[in-house]
């Protein structure tokens, strides 16, 4: 499943190392969430959160889902890398993103895994 999601992500984002160049459709919502764990050194908590995030791919409105950790890129003043786990989702519209927010799987995720994080920051981007 992860390979499939990864390939779809590559196709959707236009990465042309494996796929033809594409563009993200206008009106697409990119939902980026950054989590700071309550116990950042706990590999078990990190794995559990990622496992929980993967369940959100079961929501029909989620077009693409990717989870990750800070990259080991060059340290620069503008790079924020003090978070522990992130997720990025693509939705066709703000309406689909609204459905996701109220979806029982999303609400269950918050209830089940919310104790793992101490801080969450969300960036929602609308593609022009």
pLDDT tens per residue across span 43-101: 999 999 999 999 999 999 999 999 999 999 999 999 999 999 999 999 999 999 999 99
The residue ranges of DSSP E strands in 12-115, in sequence order, are 29-37, 64-68, 85-91
- Domains contained in the chain, CATH given: 25-126 (3.30.70.100)
Q: Which of 52, 38, 53 is nearest to 83 (CA)?
A: 38
Residues of the chain with pLDDT > 90, as a percent, come to: 80
**pLDDT given at position 23:** 82
Q: What pTM does this model have?
A: 0.81
Tell me the mean pLDDT in the region 95-119.
98
Tell me the mean pLDDT in the region 7-35.
72
Q: Which of 70, 66, 52 is nearest to 107 (CA)?
A: 52
């Amino acid at each position: 499943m992860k390979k499939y999601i990864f390939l779809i992500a590559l196709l959707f984002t236009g990465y042309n190392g494996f796929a033809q160049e594409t563009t993200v459709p206008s009106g697409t919502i990119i939902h980026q969430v950054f989590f700071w764990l309550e116990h950042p050194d706990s590999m078990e908590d990190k794995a559990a959160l990622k496992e929980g995030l993967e369940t959100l791919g079961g929501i029909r409105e989620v077009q693409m889902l990717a989870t990750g950790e800070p990259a080991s890129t060059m340290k620069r003043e503008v790079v924020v890398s003090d978070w522990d786990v992130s997720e990025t989702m693509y939705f066709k519209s703000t309406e689909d993103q609204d459905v996701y927010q109220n979806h029982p799987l999303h609400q269950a995720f918050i209830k089940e895994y919310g104790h793992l994080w101490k801080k969450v920051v969300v960036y929602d981007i609308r593609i022009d």
